[in-house]
Structures are given as C-alpha cells and as structure tokens.
Amino acid sequence: MCGIVGYIGDDRAVPFLLQGLEKLEYRGYDSAGVAIYGGGKINIVKAKGRLSVLAGVLDNNKPLMGTLGIGHTRWATHGAPSDVNSHPHLSENEKFAVVHNGIIENYLSLKEYLGKKGIEFQSETDTEVVAQLLEYYYNGECEGKILDTIAKVMSKVEGSYALGIICEDYPDRIFCVRKDSPLIIGKGDGENYLASDIPAILSRTREIVRIKDKEICVLTKNSMDFYNLDLEPIEKETETIEWDIASAEKGGYPHFMLKEIHEQPDAVRKTVSPRIKDGRIALDEISLTAEKLRNINKIYFIGCGTAYHVGVAAKYTFEKLVRIQTEADVASEFRYREPLLDENTLVLITSQSGETADTLAALREAKKHGSHVISIVNVVGSTIANESDDVIYTWAGPEISVASTKAYSTQLAVMYMIAIYLADLKGAISAEDYDKYMADLQALPEKIEETLRETEKIQYFASKSFNANDMYFIGRNVDYAVSLEASLKLKEISYIHSEAYTGGELKHGPISLIEPGTLVIAFASYGKLFDKMLSNIKEVKARGAVVLGVTTQGRTEIESETDFDFYVPEVSDFMLPSVEVVPFQLFAYYVAAMRGCDIDKPRNLAKSVTVE
C-alpha cells in the first residue's frame, strides 16, 4: 500500500531514505516525502509524483542535513495525490511528524472531535489525525510523557497502521508502532533503520526485528527497545535475512516482471523439492492429524486477485483428485457472506505478501468458527503466516513487480502437492496415478523452462495484438482458471480491456461482444474438453474473431480452426495452468512494453493491498 522508511545514525539521513524509498516504490508511487530532524526542529519536504520528483526537490531547493529522519512513498486512499496529502504529516504546532501505512477507519469522528477543540487540519488524509492526536494528548492529559501518548493514541484509533513517528522534543529517537500493517526494524552498527519491507534496508544490514501488532518500538542509533501497550518492556528476537540484495534487484533485466517470469522454474523447484522425500510428498508443515484430515468435508480456497485465481485452479484439482466439496472465493466477498464454517472445514488461504487486508480478515473469520487454516504465503513472518494454524511457504524469493508471476506458479505447485497428499491419504487415487503425478510435479520446472524458450513466438503475437482495444480469454475447467489469470495480467499492466469466460458461457451472452477482428485467446489443452473448445473456437471464428489457440504439443488439429497457435508441453491435466500461464505472462509483458506502459508500476495499483 504505502512504504515507510526511517534512519537514525551519524550519516545524513536523506540519501538512505531515498534509496530505501526507491526499493519500496512498488508499494505505492503517487507521492513521496521525508521528515528530517535538524536545526532544533522537524523539516519536511514532500512532493506529488514519483520519487524522482521528491529527489529533484531535495537536490535542488531543499537539501536537508539531519541524521534522523522518516520517509514515505504513498498509494492514495484518503485524499487525491497532492503535495499536501503526501506524508509525512505534521501536527498543528509541528511537534510531531508521522508516516503511515494503512487506514484509520474512525478518522472522521476523530477529526471532528479535534476540530471542536480548535485544531485545524491541513490535508484530507486519515493519517493527519494521528499527528494531531499525538500533539493533543502529549500537551494535554499525557503531560509530555511520550510513550503514554503513543499508547493513548493507539487506544483511540481504529483500523490498520504501521507508523513511524518523530517528535521535536526527542531529537535522538524514532518511535514506531503497528497493527495489521507490516513494519520491521533493521539493526546497524551505530545506526538503526525502520522499513515496511526488507529490501529497503538490505544494503546496510541483514539483521532485522519484526514489530508485531500493538507493539511499540523506540529506536536510537545504538538501541532498540520494545514495549507492549501497557508499556512493559518486551524481548524480541533478531532474525538474519538469508537472501541476497541481488534477489531484490533487476539483475540485468529491464523490468522486475521479466526477471520474475524467468525465475519461475527455479522458484517452483525450490518450493517443491524440499517437500519430497523418497519419492513421496512430505508436508511436515501441516499439523492436522491424518484422522482429522480424513474428516475434512469441505475446503474453501480464499485469496485476492492472482491468489484467488490459484484457488479457482485448485477447486478443479481438488474435486478431481480428492473428491471433496470445494469452493473458491475472493476474500473480500468471503469475509462478509456468512460462509458455512466449522471444525471439519479446511480453509486454504493464498497470499504472496501475507499482508492483504481482505485475506487476513477472511482468515480471522475462518478461525473464529473453529476451521483449520493453512496458508500458502511467500513472505516469511508476515501477518497471515503468523496467524494461520499452519503455513506452507512458497520459496519464490522477493516478488517486486506489482503484477504477480512467480508467486502464482509456486502457489499452484503447493496446491498440487496438497491435493496429491490428501488424495493419497483418502485413498482417492491409485498408486500408478500417484507415481505419475509425482513424476509430473518434479518435471514442472523443466516444462516451464520449455515454454520460456518460446518467447519469440509470443513476442510475434504481441506485435500483432498490442493495438487491440479488447481481448477475450476462453477456456474450460483448469483452462478457464488460467484464462482468468492471463486476462488479469494483460489488463493490469497494458490497460487493454480484457475478460475471461468459460467456453460454455459464451453463447449465454458474451458472444455478442465478438465482431470482425476481435482477439480471442482460446485455451484448449484440457484433453477431455478439447472438442468442446474446438466448437467454441468455431463459434467465435464464425463471428469474425481472430483466434490464438493454445493446446498441448501434438494436437495439431487445432490449426485448421485458428489464426495463430501456441503449443505447451504435456503434463497431468490439472497441472496445465503452470505451463499455460507462462507464455501469457510474457504476452502481457510484451504487449505492455510495446504500448510504452510502466510495467513494474502500473497505474492505480500497489503491490500489497493492506487496506480494505
């Protein structure tokens, strides 16, 4: 959503803050700002637009020299992107400056309350109430006691927040707190750091401490002290980050998205191999006993966006293999629809970031009803990972591009593993099938590599299509699941209008959209329904559509019905999304590149949606 960074040490703070914010720009990029303590007061510079605009202002007009500061890159929720709505926000008498990630849900009533006390607001943001409340309680009932003030403000605000706070009276301290939004502390040598995410501080340290919900941290250049809401000191563990800074950089690729697409074979390999022992799936992360697992009578797959599309693919897979009732739902619907949940329900939550607000709320709803929650998460130690009964990590490494790619592939692989594992446990598949699935699962990285070798074909098709106004993706069964994802990839980074439909639904309405020249991408790999898809292709061709057919190698009969074709390697049919998605991630990428779009930072989007 938004990115927070902080520095306290002996160096000038601004260069570190700008460098850190650059690493966090994927979280939001409509405005940015910094607050630096210097010359006995808090100085603020902020600017609407990309970070480069702020950097320009700081370079040219307003160099700030202090060695303590906080910075922010914003994804607007309350108030349009503008200089005044950018963070940091100051309190009325400039005693406090605040950067915030999250949403203060009761900000209107708090604003009204403070307004009645004569406090004037500068911005339209929810965040400004935090700055104003801090000064109000600090000068009032908290009598200048800073930690009491912070605890008091935390008791007043509702919603989600990660906050970096500096106070004019404490020129040697940064204060930080969080609830439902990520925040980490980096441990340096004679300096310390604060950030929303690890890449922001990785150039200086690998030693981090994660702030948990409702914890307060006080940072000086040589210390970090943690307190609970009762202001009792708490002990925290330091974690060493194993992955390299190079994993969070482009490594020679023009965009993170392209790099991450190419990382997929390795990411899937790293996710699958450690969980195979003696040719069998070993999911040691699942704490449910075999007996309890056998009693599960319903599975919900919950996520948002791409993570939800993994759930749609999983629904087909689990029904086929495990023979169990399943539902896939977007988290924002699930959390409010009073789903039927009990202790025999298994909820599989999927999230790359592990911080998505709706997904987290869905998880809590499931747990409230006694259901067992297993999450499939990429970011270690994230809130969803922490709150789940069990977590199965995808070892995809940091995914920086807003458009998710390698997270999808690794999440799918985990779903296949759980499905095969449960199917075996329930005796729903034969020993031969088990062995075949295991062989295909382990061969997936090479099959994905094979599809990556076809990049030129995809570039050619992108060059024929990048001027289109609309595109339609159709498929049946798991081919429909992958259509959803291919369509989302295209629309989010190229801004071409695109929809995904099941082949069978076409004649119930969507076919009226087809006119001469309309582009249709038809996934026709799912063997049992190949003929049905051929009929759907004929239907759209008869209305003048230009069709790119996608099917498995050898099914050349598709060629007589289509204008272009793309062949994917053969795999067990439920694993088809893994090989079909890759060419269409590339397709979206090249179409967006040909249209001159900002691929890693598409308009209006942010990588991690930590607000509702």
In 3-state terms, what secondary structure has residue 149?
Answer: helix
DSSP string, 259-300: HHHHTHHHHHHHHHGGGEETTEE--TT--S-HHHHHH--EEE
C-beta of 9 vs 305, nearer to ligand M6R? 305
Neighbours of 41 (CB within 10 A): 13
Q: 351, 388, 477, 502: which one contacts ligand M6R (CB under 6 A)?
A: 351
Q: From the CB of 256, what's the least distance to ligand M6R, in Å?
A: 12
CB of 354 to ligand M6R, least distance (A): 7
Residue 67 contacts ligand M6R per CB under 6 A: no
Using the Cα atoms of residue 117, residue 120, residue 126 and residue 132 in order, give the sign of their dihedral.
negative
Which lies closer to ligand M6R via its Cβ, residue 124 or residue 387?
387
Nearer to ligand M6R, 153 or 363 (CB): 363
| CB of 349 vs ligand M6R, minimal distance in Å | 9
Cβ pair 33, 46 in contact under 8 A: yes
Residue 356 contacts ligand M6R per CB under 6 A: yes
Q: From CA 545, how far away is CA 465, in angstroms rounded?
A: 13
Given the complex with ligand M6R, which of 224 and 304 has the nearer CB atom? 304
- Does position 305 interact with ligand M6R (CB under 6 A)? The reply is yes
Sign (positive or negative) of CA dihedral 16, 214, 157, 332: positive
Rounded to a whole number of angstroms, the minimum distance from the CB of residue 36 to ligand M6R is 32
Could you say whether residue 264 binds ligand M6R (CB under 6 A)? no
Long-range contact set of residues 270-275: C-beta below 8 Å, sequence gap at least 24: 270/395, 270/396, 271/393, 271/394, 271/395, 271/396, 271/410, 271/413, 271/414, 272/413, 272/417, 272/441, 272/442, 272/444, 272/445, 273/442, 274/395, 275/417
State the minimum distance, in angstroms, from the CB of residue 332 to ligand M6R: 10
Q: Per CB under 6 A, does 132 bind ligand M6R?
A: no
Site string for ligand M6R, 448-487 (x = CB under 6 A): ----------------------------------------
User: Helix, strand or coil for residue 157?
Assistant: coil
Number of residues that bind ligand M6R (CB under 6 A): 16
Rounded Cα distance, 133 and 128, in Å: 9
Binding segment (CB under 6 A) for ligand M6R, from list 99-107, 135-143, 181-189, 396-404? 396-404
Can you tell me the distance from the alpha carbon of 275 to that of 284, in angstroms, rounded to the nearest whole number? Answer: 8
Among 13, 403, 441, 482, binds ligand M6R (CB under 6 A): 403
Note whether 492 binds ligand M6R by CB under 6 A.
Answer: yes
Amino acid in the structure at residue 598: D
- Out of 86, 132, 271, 404, name the contact with ligand M6R by CB under 6 A: 404
Q: Is 359 or 536 the residue whose CB approaches ligand M6R more closely?
A: 359
Contact 471, 521 (CB under 8 A): yes
Choosing from 353, 375, 465, 494, the residue that interacts with ligand M6R (CB under 6 A) is 353
Using Cβ positions, the residue closest to ligand M6R within the complex turns out to be 305
Which residue in 48, 111, 447, 607 is the catalytic one?
607
Residue type, 371: S
In angstroms, what is the minimal distance from the CB of 486 to ligand M6R? 11
Q: How far apart are CA 80 and CA 339, in angstroms?
A: 35
Q: Among residues 135 and 358, whose Cβ is nearest to ligand M6R?
A: 358
Comparison of 424 and 580: residue with beta carbon closer to ligand M6R:
580
Question: Given the complex with ligand M6R, which of 265 and 354 has the nearer CB atom?
Answer: 354
CA distance 305 to 184: 26
**Residue 2 known to be catalytic:** yes
Q: Is 307 in the site for ligand M6R (CB under 6 A)?
A: yes
Residues 503 and 475: beta-carbon distance below 8 Å = yes
Least Cβ distance, residue 268 to ligand M6R (angstroms): 17
Measured between alpha carbons, how far is 291 from 195 in angstroms, rounded to an integer? 43
Least Å from the CB of residue 488 to ligand M6R: 6
Candidate ranges 178-186, 226-234, 288-296, 348-356; the one touching ligand M6R (CB under 6 A): 348-356
- Establish if 610 lies at the interface with ligand M6R (CB under 6 A): no
Which residue from 86, 551, 608, 610 is in contact with ligand M6R, where contact means CB under 6 A? 608
CA distance 319 to 507: 26
Q: Which of 142, 174, 402, 417 binds ligand M6R (CB under 6 A)?
A: 402
The per-residue DSSP string of 537-578 comes to HHHHHHTT-EEEEEEETT-GGGGGT-SEEEEE----GGGHHH
Query: Count of residues for the chain?
Result: 612
User: Near ligand M6R by CB under 6 A, which window of 143-151, 198-206, 299-307, 426-434?
Assistant: 299-307
**Which residue, 317 or 411, has its beta carbon nearer to ligand M6R?**
411
| Distance of alpha carbon 558 from alpha carbon 238, whole angstroms | 57
User: 367 an active-site residue?
Assistant: no
Amino acid at site 425: L
SS3 519: strand
Q: Give the active site residue among 2, 167, 176, 217.
A: 2
409 binds ligand M6R (CB under 6 A): no
What values do phi and psi take at 68, rounded to 5? -135, 130
* C-beta of 366 vs 609, nearer to ligand M6R: 609
Can you tell me which of 153, 304, 392, 540 binds ligand M6R, judged by CB under 6 A? 304
Q: With CA atoms as reference, report the closest residue to 449 among 250, 592, 267, 275.
A: 267
Instruction: Choose between 304 and 328: whose C-beta lies nearer to ligand M6R.
Output: 304
Residues of this chain, 21-40, that bind ligand M6R according to CB under 6 A = none
Catalytic residues: 2, 607
Contacts to ligand M6R by CB under 6 A: 304-307, 351-353, 356, 359, 402-404, 492, 605, 608-609
